[in-house]
Chain A
Amino acid sequence: MRTTLSFLFAVLSALPALAVEKPEMLKLLAEIDDRQRNGGDYKALVYLEQKEKDKADVVREVLVYRRDADDKLMLLFTQPKSEEGKGILRLDKNLWTYDPGTGKWDRTTERERIGGTNTRRSDFDESRLAEEYEPSFGGEAKLGKFDTLVLDLKVKDGIDVAYPILKLWIDKDNHNILKRQEFALSGKLARTSYYPKWQKLFSESKNAELWFPGEIRIFDEIETSNSTLVLMKAVDLHSLDQNLFTKAWLESKSR
């Protein structure tokens, strides 16, 4: 009897969780993207705390500007003093970095790290999961006290992203991402991010609520002693100046 029960328990445990079909997963990703997308303008004050082995912790203050309708993005570093005036600007498909020390603009790829931290452009930009990745169901899991759906994402052919494989833990109740793992091309785990605090604001331009992570904790899984804490403060959805997303505007901030 005891053997039969053990066998039954083993069989039941081995059964996969009720799989979520692909259209549902795509719908879920589209919903996640849509909740974080703002039709109009967006401004946020962001603090980045970078911890690295054998180095003093560095806190950076950055202003993030977005105009999602035109796919525009700009970052302006305001602290520490040594990085004040540095900026990142996306113009069309190019990402430009500006250093007021040299007065030079350099073109970089969209996948590069921001200001030497573990963050990337995609951490501050609108979410494009449905557009860039193909999902597959990874089961259900308990993350602390939260019940989550696990989705495995693989980049679509012809799309260039920083990490080609993702694993997402999505809160079953409110569909917020709680944990995100990013894998290198080799399949090695490169970065784990936790999203302990989601916040929402009513967006007039969208006529719906805009969700944003109030806090992101990013852990470098290759150089395990490195981590970055991202705090998003003072999110403002009012219209920004029309001429904001220009090289001239960014340069003027350091004059």
Chain B
Amino acid sequence: MSAAEPSGSGVPPLQSGDLNIDHVANLARLALTPAEMQKFSEQLGDVLKHIAELKEVDVSAVEPTAHAYPVVNVWAADVAAASLPVSAALRNAPAQRDNMIAVPKVVE
């Protein structure tokens, strides 16, 4: 497993037709109606067509920019600070029981 998985020898898959909105919405945990899927597919298809212009650019010798102003070793000393009071931690909880967040039973 490598982050920079080779994209294959062929043309990079920069085609709007590749957008499988059902699959992607599932990854994003978004329930979409069939009408929304249709609408978003068309709208994002246009955007992806525009984005496909990036294919023109020769980036073979270019490093990616992850941070506008890269510095390294930004960290803090390991000194514990005060925690949130439990009441503050749970203040916005939609459902709670026994000082814990409650969700429908998870079965893995």
Pair from one complex: no
A residues near B, CB below 8 A?
none
B residues near A, CB below 8 A?
none
